[in-house]
Amino acid sequence: MSKARKRRTFLTAVAFILPFFILYTVFTIWPVVQGFYVSLHKWGLMGKQSFIGFDNYAKFIGDKNFWKALKATTFFVIITTPMLVILAMVLAMLANRVTKMKKSLRIIFYLPSVLSVSVASFVAKYVFTPYRGLVNGVLHATGILAASEEPQWLQDPNLVWITISVMTVWWTIGFSMLLYLSALQDISFDIYEAAMIDGATSKQQLFYITIPLLKPTIWLVSLLQLIACFKVFGQIQLITGGGPGSTTRPLIQYIYETAFGKNNMGYAAAMSYVLFAILLVLSIVQQVLQNRGED
Amino acid sequence: MIKKKTPGYWVLNVISIFLAVLFIGPVVWALAVSFQIEGKQIVSVFDWFTPPYTLQNYPEIVMNSSVPTWLKNSLIIAVVTTGLTVIFSALAAYALAKLPFKGSNVVFMYFMLGLMVPGEATIVPLFITVNGMHLIDSYAGMILPSIAGSMTLIIMVSFFKGLPTELLEAARIDGASELKTFFVIALPLSKTIISTVCIFSFIGSWNNYLWPLLCAMSEELFTLPIGIPTFAGTYTVDYVRPLTASMVASLPMIIIYIIFEKQIVAGITAGAVKG
């Protein structure tokens, strides 16, 4: 290439990249840097107040509410992720069977995922409301629940976790199911045919062919869902507001309340780095596993 | 191949139907409630599904609430975000894939860093940044931060790398400018990848909750996800209005989803697997 053309190509490339570069730098990379700077200060909604070094980091170590929120988030992750990983596989297998309902099942299992978080939470909230809500209504109508019993799905500190977890599975499982479905469709039918000729039962086919071949997808879904569950916020804030008390308040909600409710941006930024660190480790593991899977 | 229909086949069918009912039940119920008359006596769960029905709730919500405004905001923000995402990402990806220049690798690495940055963890400094630009409570403030995503860029770079360079060379020899080559040759060849990016970006924007919650201060700028929860009064006993509003907000998406199910599913899977 001639020098003049090289120069022209370079300038064109710069012009093409520039809009993306600016937006990316300002709104993705800069906040990470800025966040650290903010975390070293006493910082309110109106702006910087004073430099306090690492005080904000020392603060959360002794902050009971912070640990409670981290514990609530972790608890949510532990009870929800396995359900998502396993049930999504079951749904995908059911929706992949050769039946007349194949297409309808696929559409129905994914349908809740189309709803926005506020609608999904709203519907769930009314579904779980005692007396006139759907869940208690159906449990009464089918006789599973005695007419005198009225479980408080939104108030009872134990039941409320079931509510949030079930709602999250219902609302978000479609995506994981799609990942399994596309993996299932990649498994060649020849393998099953060979197994059938050898007399393998469908149970054996499931445990010795399908599940082993789905292993990379199981890993991928597990990590993606771990990451997604750690970021839980919307549905909890909308269904319980973090309650009763602060039983279900997740980390992001505590950060949000600290920053915008208590006007303490510096402390909120410091706590954000803990969340950042957790998610960073998980996403590095995910990238490594995914790259290994592709090779 | 014809399989014999064993008892297991029917058992699995029953399980499938049971699960399908569980999944669609809440949506059907919400839809049924939206056709009920407010204040109806509910003794058992069946009363939600039995007549008398009314169609009045829908015009009531559309005429006497801000739902249409929020719907408009959601649409404008989603469409503009999607459009800018596609144009800016495609331009940058094309340059990185097809315009060789010194340092292009470094730029690509820099763009990959974003994969490690979860937006939820930088929400506080993002607010400070956007506030410093005086863009809080504006369309621009809600749109601009969601445009430049690493995932989209990486998907597009790997796609453009696969385009045959000869085609582009031919256009260049004919004297077409680089911009023209991009729009006339490269973009039309990338319809599939662009539709994937569009679907992703549109759904992401449509359902975005945390950022608009911070950024939209005045009610006229609310998007649907921010506006809908305002229907829940603190001591509300009414089911009909909130659930009707939820249906107004969701039916367009549900209908679009059912019509374009195949494309949407293909887009979501392609994006996740390639990303």
For residue A28, give the nearest of B22, B117, B214 by CB distance: B117
d(CA A243, CA B154): 40
Domain-embedded: residue B234: yes
Please classify residue A64 by burial: count the beta carbons closer than 10 Å to its beta carbon, then call 0-12 exposed, 13-18 middle and 19+ buried: exposed
Domain-embedded: residue B53: no
Contact A12 B246 (CB under 8 A): no
Contact A21 B107 (CB under 8 A): yes
Q: What is the CATH number of the domain that holds B70?
A: 1.10.3720.10
Alpha helix positions (H), A96-158? 102-114, 117-128, 134-141
pLDDT (tens digit per residue) in A266-294? 999 999 998 989 888 888 887 787 777 65
Domain-embedded: residue B206: yes
pLDDT at residue B85, rounded to an integer: 96
Domain region containing B260: 59-274
Q: Is pLDDT above 70 for B237? A: no
Domain-embedded: residue B47: no
B 83-102: CB under 8 A from A: 88-89, 91-92, 94-96, 99-102
Contact B89 A9 (CB under 8 A): no
Predicted complex ipTM: 0.88
pLDDT at residue B275, rounded to an integer: 42
Domain-embedded: residue B12: no
Higher per-residue confidence, A84 vs B192: A84
d(CA A121, CA B107): 41
Number of domains in chain B: 1
Best probe of the A interface among B109, B117, B127, B128, by most A CBs < 10 A, is B128
Q: Is pLDDT above 90 for B239? A: no
- CB A154, CB A129: distance < 8 Å: yes
Question: What residues of chain A lie within 8 A of the CB of B89, using their CB?
Answer: 20
* A47 — pLDDT class (breaks 50, 70, 90): confident
Domain-embedded: residue B68: yes
The three-class DSSP label of residue B261 is helix
Mean pLDDT of A137-149: 88
> pTM value?
0.88
Q: H/E/C letters for each residue in A144-170?
A: CCCCCCCCCCCCCCCHHHHHHHHHHHH
- CB B157, CB B93: distance < 8 Å: yes
Contact A141 B16 (CB under 8 A): no
Pick from A261-265, B234-238, B253-257: least confident: B234-238
Sorted by sequence, the CB contacts under 8 Å of residue A282 that are 6+ apart come out as: A223, A226, A227, A230
The DSSP secondary-structure symbol of B121 reads G
B 156-175: CB under 8 A from A: none
Backbone angles phi, psi at A50, to 5 degrees: -160, 155
pLDDT (tens digit per residue) in B175-213? 888 888 899 888 998 888 898 888 888 888 988 999 999
- CB B242, CB A121: distance < 8 Å: no
Question: What residues of chain A lie within 8 A of the CB of B243, using their CB?
Answer: 122-123, 126
pLDDT (tens digit per residue) in B69-82? 998 999 999 999 99
Number of helices (H) and strands (E) in chain A: give both, helices first.
14, 2
Domain-embedded: residue B236: yes
d(CA B248, CA B251): 6
Domain-embedded: residue B264: yes
Q: What domains can you pick out in chain A, each with its CATH number? A: 79-216 (1.10.3720.10)
pLDDT at residue B3, rounded to an integer: 56
Contact B23 A117 (CB under 8 A): no
Q: Which of B80, B208, B84, B67 has the alpha carbon at shortest distance from B139?
A: B80
